[in-house]
Structures are given as structure tokens and as C-alpha cells.
Amino acid sequence: MKDKLNKFMQGRYGVDQFARFTLGVALFVIVIGSFLRRNVAGGILDTLGFILIIYTYFRIFSRNVSARYAENQKYLGYTQKVRSQFAREKNMMEQRKTHHIYTCPGCGQKIRIPRGKGQKVEIECPKCHAKFVKRR
């Protein structure tokens, strides 16, 4: 069975970030539509969700790889700022386990100091050379 699926998917585009996004939006819209069953808006949202699911599967099973790749690149270009912000915040949260992160009061530069360096730390900003004292 797995071999048949692999043969079927050969030469097709498959799942990418844009397909995951459209499928997530479709499921979200359908769930919101299910809460609005008594209104006309519920039916419209359900219809919109199913259209998005059909479009997502069209992209997944498409053999026009270059067009689907271009669509994905356009989506990645539009969402670059948001994705890089989330990646930066995730990196900062991981670093908080081993470092204290302070912000320079003069220029706003973020400075990492390893944990365990005493109760009071005098920090010199590498950017503007302002000195400030922080307690842990």
C-alpha cells in the first residue's frame, strides 16, 4: 500500500509551507463556521473552508512543479518578516536557559551575559560603550 502511494506521488509537487498554511486556514475557517451554523455566515465560512481544502489538495497533487514552487516562494517572501521574528524570539527563549539578556539603556542593544557571574554585574555596551549595573 505504501509503495502504491509512493508511485502515485512520484512527479507530483507534494506538501510545502504554503499548503500547510492553506490547510490550517481552511480548518480554522470550518471550525469558526461550525459555531455560526444558524447564520448565513456559517454556511459561507464552511463553503470557503472546503474551497481552500480543495485548492490545497490541487496544489499537493499537481504535476506542474515549477508553478507550485513559484507560489510557495511568493508566500515565503510575504511571510519572511513574521517568520524571522518568531525564529528570533524562539532563539532568545532558548538562550535564556544559559544567559541573562539585558538591554542597553543608551542604544537599545541586547547584551548576553552568562548566568552565574555574581549578584551585581557591571556591563559595558559593545555598541555605544555606555556602562550600567544590573542585579540578578
For residue range 41-92, what is the model confidence (pLDDT) as tens digits? 888 999 999 999 999 999 999 999 999 999 999 999 999 999 999 999 999 8
Q: How far is CA 48 from the centre of its chain?
A: 23
Give residue 71's identity as a one-letter amino acid code. E
Predicted local confidence at residue 36, as pLDDT = 85
Helix H or strand E encompassing 133: strand 131-135
Residue extents of the structural domains in the chain: 2-78, 95-135
Nearest to 118 by CA among 98, 103, 136: 136
